[in-house]
Amino acid sequence: MSDMSTTSGDGEGTAARPRVLLVVHGDSSQPHALPERGELVLGRADDASLRIEATSLSRRHASFVVGEGGELTVEDLESHNGTRVGGVAIAPRTVLPLHVGDVVECGGVLILVARGELGTGGRRVLVVSDDARWFRRDMSDTVNLGRRGALRLLLAALVERRIASPGSALSMEEMIAAGWPDERIGFESAQARVYTSVQRLRALGLDDLLVTRGDGYLIDPAIDVRRG
């Protein structure tokens, strides 16, 4: 799956190994340090290593394992809602390697694989691929959205508006049309989807760059946006 590879440019070795899983649920995110070696199980069960009270998660949803060489893998534990990497569903009980920047979706919970905790730290440059399948902020890992539909489509629309008309916002109606172009959904349901998707994009690293105004959403016109 070529759209899942990291483009951070750090190469192989210790520095490029995953160190943290950033778990994004609703409008909150929490970093969890990976062990030097061993397994973390995500789910609702009391004995889950990464226990999240989310109805979209199975009791034992997915397993994250750090091997002897520091390599990280994920396995779906026959969960009800499945596991996706870069927007692509993986078969149950299939072990898949993960890399820094990969986004794993377990039900409604997103997990970002990172080298360390993500902070904002004054970074004011945003690089986004032409198809919005990945983005990168200065001094941080590349985040690979892969084929994850709505997040990728919304980011693409926001970047397009930022480049074409800095300071101009996308209205709620435009956000809905951009994120779910082929779906017919009631306005209130679609509005809730926009709110949730915006919170997820913020939690994945666009927190202080994504601005909410009375007329809609936009990428801060003060930052430097580049296509990569």
User: At 49, which CATH number?
Assistant: 2.60.200.20
CA atoms in the 13 A half-sphere facing the CB of 88? 13
Identify the pLDDT of residue 118.
53
Task: List the one residue out of 1, 12, 32, 6 whose CA is nearest residue 141.
Answer: 6
Q: Could you list the residue range(s) of the whole structural domain that residue 104 is in? A: 2-114
Same domain, 42 and 77: yes
Identify the pLDDT of residue 16.
67
Please check whether residue 25 lies inside any domain of the structure: yes
Question: Per residue of the chain (228 residues), what is the pLDDT tens digit?
Answer: 334 333 444 444 455 688 889 898 876 778 899 999 999 999 999 999 999 999 999 999 999 999 999 999 999 999 999 999 988 999 999 999 999 989 999 998 999 998 875 554 455 789 999 999 999 987 678 999 987 789 999 999 999 999 999 889 999 999 999 999 988 899 999 999 999 999 999 989 898 889 998 999 999 888 889 888
Please check whether residue 120 lies inside any domain of the structure: no
Number of domains in the chain: 2
Please check whether residue 119 lies inside any domain of the structure: no
Same domain, 137 and 95: no
User: At 153, which CATH number?
Assistant: 1.10.10.10
Please check whether residue 210 lies inside any domain of the structure: yes
Same domain, 156 and 69: no
* CA 132/CA 154 separation, integer angstroms: 9
Identify the pLDDT of residue 79.
97
Same domain, 104 and 150: no
Identify the pLDDT of residue 207.
86
Contact 75/94 with Cβ under 8 angstroms?
A: yes
Please check whether residue 20 lies inside any domain of the structure: yes
Identify the pLDDT of residue 19.
84
Identify the pLDDT of residue 9.
40
Same domain, 50 and 93: yes
Same domain, 96 and 133: no
Please check whether residue 7 lies inside any domain of the structure: yes
Same domain, 132 and 106: no
Contact 44/31 with Cβ under 8 angstroms?
A: no
* Statement: the pTM of the whole predicted model exceeds 0.75: no
Identify the pLDDT of residue 170.
96
Please check whether residue 133 lies inside any domain of the structure: yes
Same domain, 25 and 91: yes
Please check whether residue 219 lies inside any domain of the structure: yes
